[in-house]
Chain A
Amino acid sequence: MNLTTALARFLIFPGLLFAVPAAWFFLWVERKAVALMQGRIGPPFMQPFYDFIKLLGKDTPPRSGVGGLLMKLWPLIAVSAAAGAVGLLPVLPSSGGFEGDLILLLALLELPSMCIIAAGFSSGSIFGEIGSAREAALSVSYNVVFLLAIVSIAASQHTFRLEALAKLPASPMLWLGVVAILVCLPAKLHINPFSLPNAEQEIYSGPMTEYAGPELAMWELSHGLEWVAATGLVATLAAPHLTLWWLAALVFVALSFAVVLLLSVIAAATARLAIDTTVRFYWQCTLIFAVLAISSALFMRFRS
């Protein structure tokens, strides 16, 4: 019984069967929101799906040796990590089985950006290397804030269990953490104003420059799954605790959609920042709030 529920969570909801169409839907929402903000009509509803199928049918340049093998491997690791992160989200009320914890979820969320860094370096393209270096600098900057925010939520609850964190009652502590996570999401998803690693018109496509065909399709899919996982994390933290499973699922989807819409509008309204401005933004402006959050969480813990 435990195995079946765990498998159902990974394969059906919120796992693959839900996450892959949701990934395409969120990618469409992102493009459509940008188009509407610019006064255009934008791509048709099925566009990310057509792009994915078309990329699957394209050739890839011949690659040999360990470098070629690694280049095939990175996108697959990124997709499976992002899918695993979505599968772990505590959307439905617990029914036993493998649950995982916050540390595993954070590791899986971080793995795709590690893969992007490695992919850029193993592609051997100069633009890929510049993109990877930027991604590494960006990752070091936003992750401090991101991790401190999540740790502060966890510390105020004395637990790393996802199930307990999803049940948190709304408190100023929780909202501070959610806002700090929201500030980090544009950098995590490489959208404006922090679209440095894959900066178009600047360094071609960054780490993805040398990728083609099915490998590129996997990168697109992993990007979409990252959207689902990252917005889903915010949605599960912000959602009120519900016992009805269909209501919980509905609230999860609605909240994720709202976060995607918010991020897309921010992306359309802003321009790309330079790398030094970005790093300064995270280390000087945002870090203060994260430190404030974690110190107040620890303070509350010692008082209680």
Chain B
Amino acid sequence: MNLWNRLMCYSRRRSPWLFHMNGGSCNGCDIELIASLTPRYDAEQLGVRLEGSPRHADILCITGPVTHNAVNAIKTVYGQVCGPKAVVAIGSCPATTNVFIDSRTLDGPLNRHIPVDVFVPGCPPRPDAIILGVAKAAEILAERAAKKIPIDPVVMPLVGPPCNGACACSTPNAPKSTEEQP
């Protein structure tokens, strides 16, 4: 690999521009995606920029279980993103259609329609999980553009909230909630 290709690969990894698309989502994952750009998580440190136009984007972030109405829109927008590109499916819905499974209004999951590179599980996933998924997608995109490797979907690990001792997983002598039922 010569110098120019190495610089290009490095730049692609460092500058993922996102286009966010809702495929019939309940808006939970959409809120978390926006939260990953807020001061608390600050995805711009990785060069992430949320773009208004799919023409500018490198990574297509899709939420929702893919309703019949959304299928054509998703295919059109996937075609409008210029290569090299990657797709991140945010949340459990695009991966499995989640609690809406077998609904007659759905045409999911997402990888029946377009190739997906990274699945970020969670309902909704935490913003740090989304940032991790986007970083992974940028890496995959840079590698694939350089070496022409086939698409192989990656499922990111589940990132949960820190345990506060109130859940079932906590130790038996952890303090229980003091609130009484009225």
**A contact residues vs B (CB 8 Å cutoff):** 31, 35, 38-44, 46-47, 49-51, 53-54, 56-61, 127, 200-201, 203-205, 208-213, 216
Contact = CB atoms under 8 A, between A and B. Distances in A.
Nearest to B42: A40
Given A50-B15, A57-B11, A205-B53, A35 B44 contact: yes
Nearest to A46: B14
Given A41-B42, A42-B45, A54 B52 contact: no
B25 to A, nearest CB: 18
Interface range for B: 20 to 34
Given A58-B84, A205-B51, 10 more contacts: A47-B14, A53-B11, A54-B8, A57-B84, A60-B82, A205-B52, A208-B53, A209-B55, A211-B55, A212-B55
Contacts of A56: 8
B126 interface: no
A57 B11 CA distance: 9
Nearest to B47: A47
A203 B52 CA distance: 8
A205 B52 CA distance: 6
B33 to A, nearest CB: 14
Interface string B49-87: 001110110100000000000000000000010111000
A209 B53 contact: yes
22 contacts: A40-B45, A41-B44, A44-B14, A46-B14, A50-B14, A50-B15, A51-B11, A51-B47, A57-B8, A57-B84, A58-B84, A61-B55, A61-B82, A200-B52, A204-B52, A205-B52, A209-B55, A210-B53, A212-B55, A213-B82, A216-B55, A216-B56
Interface in B8-50: 8, 10-12, 14-15, 17, 39, 42, 44-45, 47
Quick one: which of B10, B12, B55 has the most chain A CB within 10 A? B55
A120 B97 CA distance: 39
A31 B47 CA distance: 11
B156 interface: no
A28 B55 CA distance: 22
Contacts of B14: 44, 46-47, 50, 54
B145 interface: yes
Contacts of A209: 52-53, 55
B15 A47 contact: yes
Contacts of A31: 44
B53 A35 contact: no
A38 B37 CA distance: 11
B56 A205 contact: yes
A304 B145 CA distance: 68
B44 A40 contact: yes
Contacts of A58: 58, 82-84
Contacts of A57: 8, 11-12, 84, 145
